Structure 1
Amino acid sequence: MIDRVTTTRVIYLGGLGRSGTTLLERLLGELPGVVALGEVVHLWERGVLAQELCGCGVPFPACAFWRQVGERAFGGWASVTAHRVLMLRHRVDRTRRIVRIAHRDLAEYAQAYRLVYAATGAAVVIDSSKHASLAWCLVASGMDVHVVHVVRDPRAVAYSWGKAVARPEDGRPMTRWGPARTALHWTAQNAALELLARRGARVTTVRYEDLLAAPERTLAALVGELGLAAAVPGLPFVDGRTAWLGPSHTVSGNPMRFHVGRVELRRDDAWATGLRDGDRRVVDALTWPLRHRYGYTEAAG
């Protein structure tokens, strides 16, 4: 284990899955000095234990980047460490425990993440774990964290969670949720991140729809808010509605984490015609009033 933890800035992408966090992470990861890590909350189970693919396309144990991180942080990845962190996560990192996040095991749990971040050697890392509870843990432990709260229309999110999508890692279907469950999780995660901001944490909200409507303008504003504007003159990897993405070393996340090369930055509004009327009414009822707070009225967008 490394003896001294250097100060590493953490950009934490929070929100409910299928809200565009992977795309935003990949874009921010193109900035000089910024390293995108993927969903670090799943590193222990899916990376260390299950040995799934890194975003670079090779199994986690064979990835030189993650092998070096493990050696610096813990003297090498070991199942005993992963199981310990997972046990601590069950004790500490739960949405229902946010109001009492000062758990006796919080310091040890947060330290595992602190060591991973520092071991990358990067000045700034992006953790797209999404979970509001982990954001609370990192902030409560005193880390230098700036939370980017990513929001998407809950009806679009519900439609996405209902689709059958194969995991590139093993071909198995990704988790599917019904509209009611998705709506309840959407409300819970966004409300928790709103509360975190009210408690004084640095939280910047970005709407998926705004990012895709005006990619350069929205991304430039966010880069400025995060204090990263001085790192790069403009955004050379974005040209209008087109972006170019290099390889990444992300653990877990949307299949887009494997994409390298050109990507078109266009909204997916298939939900507007694909979401059944009954499902839409359920989502509308369970996500009000936050849905209106974020500007999502009855019409798409």
Structure 2
Amino acid sequence: MARVLFLGGLGRSGTTLVERLLGELPGVCALGEVVHLWQRDIRDDERCGCGARFSACLFWHRVGQYAFGGWQNVDIDRVHELRGLVERTRHIPRLATAVEAPDEVHEYAHFYSRVYAAAAEVSGARVVVDSSKHSALAHVLRWAPDIDLRVVHVVRDARGVAYSWTKTVARPETDGADQMTRYSPGRSALLWNAHNAAFGLLAKRGVAVHRLRYEEFLNDPRSALLSIGDFAGLRLMPEDLGFLGDGYADLKVGHSAAGNPMRFTVGRLPLRTDDAWRHSLPRNQRRLVGTVCAPMLRAYGYPLSVEES
């Protein structure tokens, strides 16, 4: 049974950084956002985190051979069809309350379980990390009998998330031809509420969920990683965190299938609090997001106004 550490939350909450640091730990294999593997990698042949095209990456080639006898044997159209049927936010209430999931849920989850098991076998890892983030996918995966699912729910201040969604960011895997999705602050506030609430619901359904505030992770990454390691069933020693320095992390080449451009970073990565939103997000937008997200901001321990912080 594959032990999967699923990083969940709304995009721009810091999951890629958490994934990259987890990927430096012994016994861990970080896969990136597997939810995008089917289209962006298998079909579009975008670049792996190692820099090579997906079709030229030896790691992913071996995973595909082990999981499916080769990626050419994966019915991508069927994966997309199943995703539309079961892996959408609107399906979460049905997935959360069902006594038994329909066959389509099990079929869709099985595509993922085969990838996870193959990645664990090829890498020799005890834990694989999927930073797909999607709450609906986590609700699907909980039904898979061959996945030991453990969710790290990454939460970031909604106003910081909203500001990040307004920025223009090129997608390097397309050589700058495309840009990452952008949302208005109002739209991102609604999504922040919905996705975070969905992970709270997942915990109520018996799934092991560990909540991680992104700001606290940056403030003390060493303690946060040790805590996640315990949650994942890893026995970490202080020397296992030797890649962490005072305000930085030294990263090796990874094989993230998709995600934030940070997945291509190799070498020294500064670890610093990203709070530009406090002065760069217009006050009216900051107040809008704060008002829409107030109940959950308070529940997660965030101040309701910048002045309080």
Per-residue deviation, residues 41-90 of structure 1 (Å, max 9, x unmatched) = 00001001111000000111111111111111111112752221111111
Is the 1:117–1:125 Cα contact (8 Å) retained in structure 2? yes
Out of 235, 238, 241, the residue aligned to residue 235 of structure 1 is 241
Partner Cα distance (2:19, 2:94) in 1: 29
Contact 1:49 1:79 in 2 (8 A): no
Structure 2, gaps ≥5 residues long: 96-100
Q: Tell me by how many angstroms 1:131 deviates.
A: 0.4
- How many Å separate the matches in 2 of 1:274 and 1:48? 38
Work out whether residues 147 and 203 of structure 1, in 8 Å CA contact, stay in contact via their aligned partners in 2. yes
Structure 1 residues 91, 129: CA separation in 2 closer, same or farther (over 3 Å shift)? same
Q: Is the counterpart of residue 151 in structure 1 residue 155 in structure 2?
A: yes
Matched, 1:94 2:100: no
Summarize the Cα distance change of 1:90–1:79 in structure 2 as closer, same or farther, 3 Å threshold: farther
| One-letter identity of the residue aligned with 2:106 | A
SS of 2:154's equivalent in the other structure is: strand
1:125-180 Cα deviation digits (max 9, x unpaired)? 00000001111111122320110000000000000000011111121211110011
The aligned counterpart of 1:20 is 14
Q: What is the root-mean-square deviation in Å for CA atoms of aligned residues?
A: 1.4
Conserved 8 A contact 1:54-1:250 = yes
Supply the distance in 2 between the matched residues of 1:293 and 1:138 (Cα, whole angstroms). 26
SS of 2:130 mapped into structure 1: strand
Instruction: Give the distance between the partners of 1:80 and 1:199, measured in 2 at CA.
Output: 31
> Could you say which residue in structure 1 is the equivalent of 2:67?
73
How far, CA to CA, are the matches of 1:84 and 1:231 in structure 2? Answer: 43
CA distances 1:180-208 after superposition (whole Å, capped 9, x unpaired): 11011110000000011111110000000
Which secondary structure state, in structure 2, belongs to the residue aligned with residue 244 of structure 1?
Answer: strand
TM-score with structure 1 setting the length: 0.94
TM-score scaled by structure 2?
A: 0.92
- Deviation by residue 1:234-269 (Cα, 9 ceiling, x = unmatched): 411112321111111111100000001111110110
Q: Distance in 2 between matches of 1:231 and 1:48?
A: 37
Q: Which residue of the partner structure matches residue 164 of structure 2?
A: 160
Instruction: Report if aligned partners of 1:30, 1:237 keep a CA contact under 8 Å in 2.
Output: yes
Helix, strand or coil: the match of 2:172? coil
1:114 and 2:100 equivalent? no
Q: Identity over aligned residues, as a percent?
A: 53
Q: Contact 2:10–2:191 (CA<8 Å) still a contact in 1? A: yes
Query: Would you say the 8 A contact 1:215–1:240 is kept in 2?
Result: no
Q: 1:48 aligns to what SS in structure 2?
A: helix
- CA contact 1:245–1:263 (8 Å) conserved in 2: yes
Cα displacement string for residues 89-113 of structure 1 (whole angstroms, at most 9, x for unaligned residues): 1111111111212233011100000
Match of 2:98 in 1: none
| Counterpart position of 1:291 | 297
Higher relative helix content: 2
